[in-house]
């Protein structure tokens, strides 16, 4: 069935409403996105910096929506059964959100960090602090990836391996 452009926008709006109503992490991402957007406006970022922040925020929100869609599709297919591949699909979709959010945090540190520290008058080398924060994010991701080397999907719920 072919839908009008207006109907397509309505379906997308419904998807956003469902995600906000049912996904705690989506609500958290929206709160953080609002804070970052307000900070970018307060700091009066140049156009390139503002564009980088907007793209990073949009990427995180889009990744969260895709993750939710994957979870719904997997649950629809496997129901309440435990399935290793279904759990892996969910874990991979969640990892995509994690990587996207980490990249957005790095963008935030590099783009918002220096002007924020200057605006607050801290007197510290703002770029050095942003670089150190970036390194911390990358190291945290590496550590998280190495915590359970070779392990299978984790967590509970439909599509997950039993503990």
Q: Residue written as tokens 């997997």? A: 74
Q: Which of 7, 64, 71, 161 is catalytic?
A: 64
| DSSP symbol at 158 | T
Known active-site residue 7: no
Q: Could you give phi then psi for residue 58, rounded to 5 degrees?
A: -60, -40
Tokens standing for 54?
């907007």
Please work out, in degrees rounded to the nearest 5, the angle formed at the alpha carbon of residue 60 by the alpha carbons of 101 and 36: 80
Query: Residue 139, class by beta-carbon neighbours within 10 Å (0-12 exposed, 13-18 middle, 19+ buried)?
Result: exposed
- Give the distance from CA 130 to its chain's centroid: 20
Contact between 81 and 58 under an 8 Å Cβ cutoff? The reply is no
Q: Is 157 helix (H, G, I), strand (E, B) or coil?
A: coil
Please work out, in degrees rounded to the nearest 5, the angle formed at the alpha carbon of residue 10 by the alpha carbons of 79 and 104: 75
Query: What residues are annotated to the active site?
Result: 64
């Amino acid at each position: 069935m072919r839908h009008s452009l207006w109907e397509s926008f309505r379906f997308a709006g419904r998807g956003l409403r469902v995600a906000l109503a049912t996904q705690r992490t989506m609500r958290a991402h929206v709160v953080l996105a609002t804070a970052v957007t307000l900070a970018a406006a307060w700091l009066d970022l140049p156009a390139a910096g503002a564009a980088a922040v907007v793209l990073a925020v949009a990427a995180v929100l889009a990744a969260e929506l895709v993750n939710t869609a994957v979870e719904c599709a997997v649950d629809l297919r496997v129901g309440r059964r435990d399935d290793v591949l279904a759990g892996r699909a969910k874990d991979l979709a969640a990892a995509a959100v994690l990587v996207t959010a980490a990249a957005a945090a790095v963008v935030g540190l590099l783009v918002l960090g220096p002007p924020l520290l200057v605006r607050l008058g801290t007197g510290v080398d703002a770029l050095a602090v942003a670089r150190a924060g970036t390194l911390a994010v990358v190291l945290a991701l590496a550590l998280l990836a190495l915590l359970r080397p070779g392990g299978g999907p984790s967590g509970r719920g439909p599509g997950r391996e039993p503990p």
